[in-house]
Structure formats: C-alpha cells, structure tokens
Chain A
Amino acid sequence: QSALTQPASVSGSPGQSITISCTGTSSDVGGYNFVSWFQQHPDKAPKLMIYEVTKRPSGVSNRFSGSKSGNTASLTISGLQAEDEADYYCTSYTSSSSWVFGGGTKVTVL
C-alpha cells in the first residue's frame, strides 16, 4: 500500500485560508468516506482534527474543515492563526481493511 500524496509544505499569512490536499486511489481515499486528518506539533502525539472526511471532533475549531472529490481529500484551515503552525497528516481506510497515511504537510504561518 503506497502512502497517500500530500504537499511537503503549505504556508499562509495570519487570517488567510489554506488548503492541504491528500491524493490516493480508488482503493483508499476514493473508495471510502473514512478519511481523517491529524495535527501534530513537535514532540507531541497526533491530534484528530477531522474524521469521516468532513466531521469535526468535539473541541476542534470550526476553522478546520474537510472535503473530498474523487481520489483527493482536502483539509482547509480558514482564519489561519499562529497556533495552527504544525505538521498535518491525512489517513484513509483501504480495501485491504488497513489504513494508510499521507507523507505529511508542514504548515507555516508567515
């Protein structure tokens, strides 16, 4: 199972919106609505930000939103804040009853 494809880095100014893409295949992202997104700050465990493509866990800011089109899922962060600077990872359920992560995207707040 190959890793999902994410851009290595995305940047934006405070208040702006940014979007991170996550491209897979019809055997993972395109085939199931089980795409999640995680935020990870240095030396911390990942934090679930989005699950089932569009759902936000309780306590996660509504500035974070998810979507999917075909084999590509996306995470949008609106009203970018300094605290959003972190690494972001997507993951998807696959046809092998397994999970696969994306390579990760470093978000920089300029």
Chain B
Amino acid sequence: QVQLVQSGAEVKKPGASVKVSCKAAGYIFTGYYIHWVRQAPGQGLEWMGWMNPNNGGTNYAQKFQGRVTMTRDTSINTAYMELSRLRSDDTAVYYCATRSIATSGFDSWGQGTLVTVSS
C-alpha cells in the first residue's frame, strides 16, 4: 500500500531555511500529486501547496509564495519541501500527503515532521 516516510525533526533559527523530505513507496511515484500541509501547535490544518512528481509542476498557496519550494527526485521516489526565511510562527508539524488509486482524496499521509523555529 502507499507509504510516505518523512525526515526527522528539525530545529532552526529565525531567518534560516528548512528542507523536509517525503519518501514514497508502494505506488508509482509520478502518478499522483504530493501535497504539503502544516499544523502549528494547537491549531488547524493549513494547505501549503502541491507538486506534480511527473513534471515538477507546482502550485503554492498564496501565503507561502516566495518562501516555499517543492521539488522531487524521481530516482529515489522522494519529494521535498523547502521553506525559507523562517519565523517563529512557522513552528509546526509538516505533513506530506497524496492519494491512492482507491480514492481522489488525501488518503495517505506521512508521519509528520516537527519543525521548531527558535533563537
């Protein structure tokens, strides 16, 4: 079945960048978009954008445009999300998500990566 495994927790200083990885298994990596969603402590889910692994195309939420870059390496079935110019309010759990052949919804999620931004 679809499995998404993310990289480990990160601690960054304000102004720095962070790059989170999401390794896919159990399906054809180029078949479905990868979405990134974040959740600040005690807050709701926030969609950040999607990346098409087939051609690298992207669509970012307006809030993150200019600060986020979503890429992929098809040779190792891995997607990446890089967020730059980090601020304290970027402290959150970052998830990658995709769909499977069974549904059109985000039915497969990574385990989440906690990014802490603190001086």
Contact = CB atoms under 8 A, between A and B. Distances in A.
Interface of A: 1, 3, 34, 36, 38, 40, 45-46, 48, 50-52, 55, 57-58, 87, 89, 91, 96-104
A91 B44 CA distance: 12
A58 B102 contact: yes
Given A45-B110, A45-B111, A99-B47, A1 B104 contact: no
A46 B103 contact: no
Nearest to B60: A98
B26 interface: no
A104 B44 contact: yes
Contacts of A52: 104-105
Q: Max chain B CB contacts within 10 Å: which of A1, A45, A57?
A: A45
In the A-B complex, the 7 residue pairs with the smallest Cβ-Cβ separation, listed nearest first, are: A51-B105, A104-B44, A45-B109, A36-B105, A48-B107, A99-B47, A101-B45
B30 to A, nearest CB: 19
Contacts of A1: 61-62
Given A36-B106, A51-B105, A91 B47 contact: yes
Interface of B: 35, 37, 44-47, 49-50, 59, 61-62, 95, 97, 102-107, 109-112
B5 to A, nearest CB: 12
Contact of B35 (A48, A96, A97, A99): A99
A100 to B, nearest CB: 6
A99 B61 CA distance: 8
A96 B50 CA distance: 12
Given A1-B61, A45-B95, A45-B110, A98 B105 contact: no
B44 A103 contact: yes
B45 A89 contact: yes
A110 B17 CA distance: 44
A103 B43 CA distance: 8
B61 A98 contact: yes
Contact of B104 (A3, A40, A45, A51): A51
Contacts of A48: 103, 105-107
